[in-house]
């Protein structure tokens, strides 16, 4: 990938993504702590992505990508490698948008995350961490 040209998203890309995920991801609040602001000498806002239905901000990226699938890609399904939050978001979005998902996870992934991914209908393949990239091709 060293020869690949870096292509940065444009404001139109951001607007398109926002349109795709509308109704899937919720607009989570920004939280502020006056005590942290004092400690830092500035203003710190924290995005509460944990309030998404899947429990993390990763839902937004997964929803955008699954919503952008072509009809052929949707028929073939998606594959992701994840130890939890991304896999959970992919599984949720695949079920919601009528496609299938395979999540390749390390064999050390938390059992509760794996159970939630499976509950959304994804096939989970657990492998040793060093084989994750090889299996998720």
Question: For 6-33, how does the pLDDT look when each residue is reduced to its tens digit (9 = 90+)?
Answer: 999 999 999 999 999 999 999 999 999 9
What does the alpha-carbon distance between residue 115 and residue 99 come to, in Å, rounded to a whole number?
19
Q: Identify the active-site residue in 33, 47, 56, 58.
A: 58
56 assigned to active site: no
Contact criterion met (CB below 8 Å) for 134 and 102:
no
83 assigned to active site: yes
As a whole number, mean pLDDT of residues 114-125 equals 96
């Amino acid at each position: 990938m060293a020869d690949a040209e870096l292509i940065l998203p444009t404001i139109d890309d951001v607007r398109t993504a926002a349109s795709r995920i509308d109704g899937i991801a919720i607009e989570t609040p920004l939280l502020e702590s006056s005590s942290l602001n004092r400690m830092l000498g500035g203003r710190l806002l924290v995005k509460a992505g944990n309030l998404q239905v899947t429990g993390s901000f990763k839902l937004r990226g997964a929803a955008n990508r699954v919503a952008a699938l072509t009809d052929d890609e949707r028929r073939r399904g998606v594959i992701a490698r994840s130890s939890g939050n991304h896999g959970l978001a992919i599984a949720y979005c695949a079920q919601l948008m009528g496609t299938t998902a395979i999540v390749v996870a390390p064999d050390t992934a938390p059992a509760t995350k794996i159970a939630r991914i499976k509950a959304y209908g994804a096939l989970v393949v657990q492998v040793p961490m060093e084989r994750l990239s090889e299996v998720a091709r």
